[in-house]
Amino acid sequence: MLCAPSQINLYCQSKMNNSEIEHPKSEISIEQIRPELTWRLRQRILYPAQKLYEMEMDEDNNGFHFAAFKDNAIVGVVSLFQKGDDFQFRKFAIDESMQGVGVGRQLLNYITNFSVLNGGKRLWCNARVSAIGFYLKFDFKHTGQLFSKNGFDYEILEKEL
């Protein structure tokens, strides 16, 4: 059984320290969304040279898709796919105007908690080399598995849950 978003929010709040509750850095809400609502930000941030229709992935309908909202606008997206007790996240994109203010941290914490509450033992991603430093701050570990695809260099990073 999957946890409801309200359960995740309660779990996330219990993990926050008092200073985060009293002084939020931004008014961000995170919600599960339909896959096609991720495409515009995916395209603009991750693949600006590609067409919007190329953002659809074959596995989109088998995943969970989340968006961070600020003032009713989508400012971050990520897609999460479960295989047994492994969860892989993909297409993690934050609007340029919201990078560096904690939106990525909130979204990553949200999907981590979602994975744990749904039986996850491992969370992993194909991290662009340029983003590895971000993930290491959240206890992701190098696997040494490097590859290139569509002009980008990646390493598989993982985190035991």
> Mind listing the pLDDT tens digit for each residue in 121-159?
999 999 999 999 999 999 999 999 999 998 999 999 999
Confidence (pLDDT) at 24: 45
All structural domains of the chain with their residue ranges? 5-124
> Mind listing the pLDDT tens digit for each residue in 72-86?
999 999 999 999 999
Residue 7 has pLDDT above 80, yes or no: no
Considering only 14-28, 30-44, 71-85, which range has the smallest mean pLDDT? 14-28
Q: On the CB side of 46, how many CA atoms lie within 13 Å of its CA?
A: 23
Confidence (pLDDT) at 17: 40
- What is the reported pTM? 0.82
Residue 94 in contact with residue 103, Cβ under 8 Å? yes
Q: On the CB side of 139, how many CA atoms lie within 13 Å of its CA?
A: 8
* Residue predicted with more confidence, 10 or 78: 78
- CATH of the domain spanning 5-124: 3.40.630.30
